[in-house]
Amino acid sequence: MTPADLLTRPRIKICGITNPQDAIIASQLGTDAIGLVFYQASPRAVTVTQAQAIVQALPPFITVVGLFVNAEAAYVRAVLNQVALDRLQFHGEETAAYCESFRRPYIKAVRMRPDTDVNAIAQQYPQAQALLLDSYVKGVKGGTGVTFDWQHIPAQPLKPIILAGGLSPENITHAVNTVAPYGVDVSGGVEQAKGIKDAAKMAAFIRGVPMSIAHSVTPATDTPSEFETQPDALGHFGPYGGVFVAETLMQPLAELQQAYTHYRNDPEFKAELDRDLHHYVGRPSPIYHAERWSKQLGGAQIYLKREDLNHTGAHKINAALGQALLAKRMGKTRIIAETGAGQHGVASATVAARLGLECVVYMGAEDIKRQAVNVYRMRLLGAEVRAVTSGSKTLKDALNEAMRDWVTNVDNTFYIIGTVAGPHPYPAMVRDFQAIIGREARAQMLEMTGRLPDALCACVGGGSNAIGLFYPFLNDAEVKIYGVEAAGEGLDTLRHAAPLNAGKPGVLHGNRTYLMMNDDGQISETHSISAGLDYPGVGPEHSWLKDIGRANYVAVTDDEALNAFHALTRIEGIIPALESSHALAYCQKLAPTLSPEQSILVNLSGRGDKDINTVATLEGIQI
Amino acid sequence: MSRITACFQQLSTEKRAALIPFITGGDPKPAQTVGLMHALVKGGADIIELGMPFSDPMADGPVIQRASERALAAGTRLKDILDMVRQFRQQDAKTPVVLMGYLNPIEYMGYETFAKAAQAAGVDGALLVDLPPEEVGDIGELFQRHDLDPIFLLSPTTQPERIQRICQAASGYLYYVSLKGVTGSANLDTKAVAEKLAEIRQYTQLPIGVGFGIRDAASAAQVAQISDAVVVGSALVQRIEDTPEADLIDTVTAFVRELRNAISSEAPSAATA
């Protein structure tokens, strides 16, 4: 990149918005964020009701920041419960522990005195996303309206700097050229009266923000990106993930975490895993350029990552193998697994056979009826398939039952989870085992096309194939990422499985994530034509990627997926799994909007042989 | 003084362990719960643990899972559970009531809303099975501000540093899970439980209740000798499942009385005081 490529416009936040009209005008003029003041003593304070009206009125892509000053934690939580805030901003003497306790990304405001050491404060608030530097005026907290001496800002700040304090249309250009901040924050400087913004002043202010090279985007640092440092030690991806289990599971999970941390860096373990991935699974899986289909759709070039060509026919084996090798190292003699459609059960039974481990697979009684062939495959492989008759008798209940087995038999048993859900360390561990998909694909695309793809597409149930593809691309900001959920019979019908599109955050199966639930917090039953996507939750890392905007989550219906299933089969001679057909269906919509010079990489996560009966039945054919 | 603290103070003068029966709110039907709660007290319960039903009770065995399913099928909602406590309080101002369940319905309602409503209804404590102290954040403090004791589980595999942490986060009493597994599992090793309780007592003055695996008068009596409270859940809930509705109150009262008599007759005070 040339220096010109690094020029960006600093992000703009208009703070102290008190009414929807001002919010709409600020958005139309091009602000990146608005600030709502939840501090009663401020003339710009808003009530929860006012805040809700403002948020309701906002167009998409505007970040809403809630400003607090030494507030009671319960008040902050109450506001968070009622107002969709994207970020918190703390202006008082709050401690780092307090700021982090809300599990939301936050900005810490610093009132600048001549002796303030900005980088020392940055170290005190390691989780803060940025520091907002404001002027110190005795007795005044929040918007002071006067500038401070910008010379006190360190040349190499440890955190992105948001410049505030006395900014106005008159001084903004000079301020940005002098400080080169990550962002700027204005309130009083664009008002006609306290709490009432002036459209002309806002327009002049935003126009006055010049392009600059912000300190925080200076490349070539060795510090890992925010994506590489997730999750934290307790498994949190932002506010999601974590360890929400009964006390009886805490020690087994701690032991698993310890073992995984040890072996993931153990050269012998890595060598054994690599050997099996190559000779047993058949990796690397190829990338295939779907030329006929691309031409027919008349847009971007479509490339397929062929996880369907793995041993057992899907990506599931990558993580099942990794976990089974870990089980062996931990001295466990028995593995258990949950399965919905049976693919993860088959993968687990396969690696258990390969390693000589006892294997029990939990499967909902309803799913056993629907997936007789996979049940028989597991039994052929020597696994015991146990029918789960509690709850809705599907995948989520199989997961509950496997957890119950694990807690009872933890001494000799390893629980192989099939997706990037569950309590820490499962979401991170399964992701790491699946990330081989994206690592291979990134190198293969560079080799085949000389550049990175413009977009990635993968289906998301729990989301393991998707995170496996996405993870190695997260730092490549120019690569757009699309996770495709199952819209079933439509997002407005309740007959779907799209928590990221139509659910709410909650706690299930050991982690906080987006969930499908009713209005009493009870988990809903889901529907999808594809059993592998028929799950009410989603991996917590996806929830986080959604909230921070790095990935887009869309949904396609049963009919659209079925249509793509037929298209790929007839045009390219590849029968895709119904799960993967969801990713293909979205690709079918996306490709025509791009040019033939651009490319889309789709994770073809599994083969469709297992779905032939389902498709035939839908078309009224008896096989 | 909170009802829970007052209850354990009274019991310590009587030199007797508390009897804490568990039932699921709304099982078999919401209308029966308040009557059952009074029956528990009549039979000799010292504290009531009232289960808040959840669709995915991951830590529970089949007996309590089915109770949750019955309660949900009968239309029980979280606010109904709070209302049951409110109704119970109209006639019983003394017996502590602890709500036990899973996090999601409460998170959905909002922690502050829940804490306020629980306090107003007369709830004394809350045990959220899938909320370990690592994730509790400010919720414990919020509960305490609303006179709700946050009650936490301890297990045979809980390590010393975490025992300490849990003891610091808890108030009211602690709940020791006597065995690996889910609620309603068999096989209780009294000697192993006694050893672990001694270890836990190095870190706390709080009373310690023991649950999971207490099925009858004999096992209740054994546990009463080594603990401050005996929690009986699945054995009682199983009886609720097996009993015709007309006989529910009598059956439950009789079973609780049997447990209470077993505990009382084993009280050290009878022999040593």
Name the architecture of domain A3-217: Alpha-Beta Barrel (3.20)
- List pLDDT tens digits, range A478-530: 999 999 999 999 999 989 999 999 999 999 999 999 999 999 999 999 999 99
List the single residue in B with minimal CA-CA distance to A233: B134
Q: Please pick, among B14, B27, B56, B60, the residue that the annotation labels catalytic.
A: B60
The answer to whether the CB atoms of A251 and B131 lie below 8 A apart is no
A67 pLDDT exceeds 60?
yes
Contact of A124 with A154, CB cutoff 8 Å? no
- What tokens were used for B241? 């499942």
Contacts of A74 in chain B (CB under 8 A): 112, 138, 142, 145
Contacts of B177 in chain A (CB under 8 A): 246-248
- List pLDDT tens digits, range B70-81: 999 999 999 999
List the single residue in B with minimal CA-CA distance to A82: B110
Question: Quick one: average pLDDT of A268-292?
Answer: 96
Q: How far is CA A424 from CA A250, A251, A273, A324, A544, in A?
A: 10, 12, 22, 17, 15
Between A285 and A139, whose confidence is greater? Answer: A285
Q: In sequence order, what E strands does B1-56 have?
A: 18-24, 48-51
Cβ of residue A95 closer than 8 Å to a chain B Cβ:
no
Cβ neighbours of residue A35 closer than 8 Å, sequence gap 6 or more: A13, A14, A15, A16, A17, A65, A66, A67, A89, A185, A187
- Find which of A99, A396, A417, A522 to mutate to test the B interface (most B CBs within 10 Å of its CB): A522
**Nearest CB to B132: which of A250, A404, A522?**
A250
Contact of A95 with A108, CB cutoff 8 Å? no
B166 pLDDT exceeds 60?
yes
Q: In sequence order, what E strands does A113-169 have?
A: 130-135, 161-163
A3 pLDDT exceeds 70?
no
- What tokens were used for A375? 């049940």
Contact of A600 with A303, CB cutoff 8 Å? yes
- The side-by-side arrangement of strands in the sheet containing B18-24 is B149-150, B125-128, B97-101, B48-51, B18-24, B229-232, B208-211, B174-177, B153-154
Cβ of residue A517 closer than 8 Å to a chain B Cβ:
yes
Residue B48 Cα, gap to closest chain A Cα (Å): 20
- What tokens were used for B124? 């004394």
Per-residue pLDDT at B184: 66
Give the separation between CA B261 and CA B51, rounded to whole angstroms. Answer: 24
- Find which of B65, B107, B164 to mutate to test the A interface (most A CBs within 10 Å of its CB): B107
CATH class of the domain defined by A287-311+435-618: alpha beta
Is B3-268 in CATH node 3.20.20.70? yes
Q: Is residue B270 very low, low, confident or very high in pLDDT (cuts 50, 70, 90)?
A: very low
Q: Please pick, among A108, A159, A197, A316, the residue that the annotation labels catalytic.
A: A316
The answer to whether the CB atoms of A248 and B130 lie below 8 A apart is no
Please identify among residues 49-88 of chain B the ones whose CB lies closer than 8 Å to any CB of chain A.
54-59, 61-62, 65-66, 69, 72, 77-78
The full length of chain B comes to 273
Closest to B7 in 3D by CA, of B36, B39, B35, B49: B49
Per-residue pLDDT at B269: 42
Per-residue pLDDT at A5: 57
Cβ neighbours of residue A279 closer than 8 Å, sequence gap 6 or more: none
B124 pLDDT exceeds 50?
yes
Q: Is residue B179 very low, low, confident or very high in pLDDT (cuts 50, 70, 90)?
A: confident
Which 3-state string (H, E, C) describes A311-347? HHHECHHHHHHHHHHHHHHCCCCEEEEEECCCHHHHH
Closest to B153 in 3D by CA, of B99, B203, B211: B211
Contact of A260 with A433, CB cutoff 8 Å? no
Residue found under tokens 């007759």: B265
A316 is catalytic: yes
- A256-263 long-range contacts, CB within 8 A, separation 24+: A256/A330, A256/A425, A256/A429, A257/A424, A257/A425, A259/A326, A259/A329, A259/A330, A260/A326, A260/A425, A260/A429, A263/A326, A263/A329
Domain ranges for chain A: 3-217, 240-281+313-430, 287-311+435-618
Residue found under tokens 């509790």: B136
The answer to whether the CB atoms of B135 and A243 lie below 8 A apart is yes
- Over chain A, what is the mean pLDDT? 92
Amino acid at A136: Y
Amino acid at A476: D
Give the separation between CA A182 and CA A9, rounded to whole angstroms. Answer: 9
- What tokens were used for B202? 């190095």
Contacts of A520 in chain B (CB under 8 A): 77-78, 105, 108
Contacts of B137 in chain A (CB under 8 A): 101-103
**Nearest CB to A522: which of B72, B157, B159?**
B72
* Percent of chain A predicted with pLDDT > 90: 79
- Over chain B, what is the mean pLDDT? 93
**Nearest CB to A408: which of B57, B177, B180?**
B180
Per-residue pLDDT at A483: 98
Q: How far is CA A517 from CA A65, A226, A523, A525, B70, in A?
A: 27, 30, 4, 8, 18
The answer to whether the CB atoms of A508 and B154 lie below 8 A apart is no
Question: Quick one: average pLDDT of B175-195?
Answer: 80
Q: In this structure, how many other beta carbons lie within 10 angstroms of the beta carbon of residue B12?
A: 12
The answer to whether the CB atoms of B55 and A248 lie below 8 A apart is no
Question: Quick one: average pLDDT of A443-466?
Answer: 95
- What tokens were used for A536? 């009410």
Per-residue pLDDT at B273: 33
- A584-588 long-range contacts, CB within 8 A, separation 24+: A584/A457, A585/A484, A585/A556, A585/A560, A585/A561, A586/A457, A586/A482, A586/A484, A586/A554, A586/A556, A587/A302, A587/A457, A588/A297, A588/A560, A588/A563, A588/A564
Alpha helices in A180-226 (DSSP H): 199-207
Residue B75 Cα, gap to closest chain A Cα (Å): 10
Q: Please pick, among B27, B49, B149, B228, the residue that the annotation labels catalytic.
A: B49
Q: Do domains A3-217 and A240-281+313-430 have the same CATH topology?
A: no
Domain ranges for chain B: 3-268
State the number of CA atoms in the 13 A half-sphere of A527 facing the CB: 11
Beta strands A552-557 and A480-488 are parallel
Burial of B1 (0-12, 13-18, 19+ CB in 10 A): exposed
Q: Please pick, among A338, A366, A485, A541, the residue that the annotation labels catalytic.
A: A338
Max Cα–Cα distance, chain B, nearest Å: 51
Max Cα–Cα distance, chain A, nearest Å: 82
Contact of A373 with A612, CB cutoff 8 Å? no
Closest to A478 in 3D by CA, of A455, A496, A460: A455
* Percent of chain A predicted with pLDDT > 70: 96
Contacts of B159 in chain A (CB under 8 A): 251, 254
Question: Quick one: average pLDDT of B251-268?
Answer: 88
Give the separation between CA A555 and CA A457, rounded to whole angstroms. Answer: 11
DSSP summary character for residue A576 = B
The answer to whether the CB atoms of B55 and A523 lie below 8 A apart is yes
Q: Is residue B242 very low, low, confident or very high in pLDDT (cuts 50, 70, 90)?
A: very high
Q: In this structure, how many other beta carbons lie within 10 angstroms of the beta carbon of residue B257?
A: 17
Q: Is residue B203 very low, low, confident or very high in pLDDT (cuts 50, 70, 90)?
A: very high
Residue A520 Cα, gap to closest chain B Cα (Å): 6
Per-residue pLDDT at A142: 56
Give the separation between CA B85 and CA B76, rounded to whole angstroms. Answer: 13
Q: In this structure, how many other beta carbons lie within 10 angstroms of the beta carbon of residue B146?
A: 18
A214 pLDDT exceeds 60?
no
Contacts of A390 in chain B (CB under 8 A): 62, 65-66, 69
* Helices and strands in chain B: count of H runs, count of E runs: 13, 9
Give the separation between CA A335 and CA A414, rounded to whole angstroms. Answer: 5
Contacts of B109 in chain A (CB under 8 A): 521
**Nearest CB to B134: which of A234, A403, A523?**
A234
- List pLDDT tens digits, range A165-198: 999 999 998 888 888 889 999 999 999 998 899 9
A212 is catalytic: no
Cβ of residue B180 closer than 8 Å to a chain A Cβ:
yes
B267 pLDDT exceeds 70?
no
Residue B173 Cα, gap to closest chain A Cα (Å): 16
Cβ of residue B137 closer than 8 Å to a chain A Cβ:
yes
Q: In this structure, how many other beta carbons lie within 10 angstroms of the beta carbon of residue A228?
A: 10
Q: Is residue B64 very low, low, confident or very high in pLDDT (cuts 50, 70, 90)?
A: very high
- Find which of A82, A127, A244 to mutate to test the B interface (most B CBs within 10 Å of its CB): A244
Cβ of residue A395 closer than 8 Å to a chain B Cβ:
no
Contacts of A231 in chain B (CB under 8 A): none
The answer to whether the CB atoms of B54 and A522 lie below 8 A apart is yes
Contact of A363 with A342, CB cutoff 8 Å? yes
The answer to whether the CB atoms of A509 and B58 lie below 8 A apart is yes
Cβ of residue B189 closer than 8 Å to a chain A Cβ:
no
The answer to whether the CB atoms of A508 and B56 lie below 8 A apart is yes
What is the CA B123 to chain-centroid distance, rounded? 12
Residue A612 Cα, gap to closest chain B Cα (Å): 32
Q: Is residue A336 very low, low, confident or very high in pLDDT (cuts 50, 70, 90)?
A: very high
The answer to whether the CB atoms of A252 and B58 lie below 8 A apart is no
A&B contacts, CB < 8 Å: 139
Give the separation between CA B47 and CA B99, rounded to whole angstroms. Answer: 11
Name the helix (H) or strand (E) containing A413. strand A413-416
- List pLDDT tens digits, range B7-36: 999 999 999 999 999 999 999 999 999 999
Contact of A599 with A300, CB cutoff 8 Å? yes
Which 3-state string (H, E, C) describes A356-379? CCEEEEEEEHHHHHHCHHHHHHHH
Between A174 and A585, whose confidence is greater? Answer: A585
Contacts of B62 in chain A (CB under 8 A): 390
Name the architecture of domain A240-281+313-430: 3-Layer(aba) Sandwich (3.40)
What ipTM goes with this model?
0.95
Burial of B243 (0-12, 13-18, 19+ CB in 10 A): middle
* Percent of chain B predicted with pLDDT > 70: 94
State the number of CA atoms in the 13 A half-sphere of A560 facing the CB: 19
What is the CA A273 to chain-centroid distance, rounded? 27
- List pLDDT tens digits, range A340-381: 889 999 999 999 999 999 999 999 998 898 788 899 999 999
Question: Quick one: average pLDDT of B194-201?
Answer: 96
Contact of A252 with A332, CB cutoff 8 Å? no
Per-residue pLDDT at A6: 61
Q: In this structure, how many other beta carbons lie within 10 angstroms of the beta carbon of residue B272?
A: 7
Give the separation between CA A44 and CA A195, rounded to whole angstroms. Answer: 5
Closest to B28 in 3D by CA, of B74, B64, B60: B74
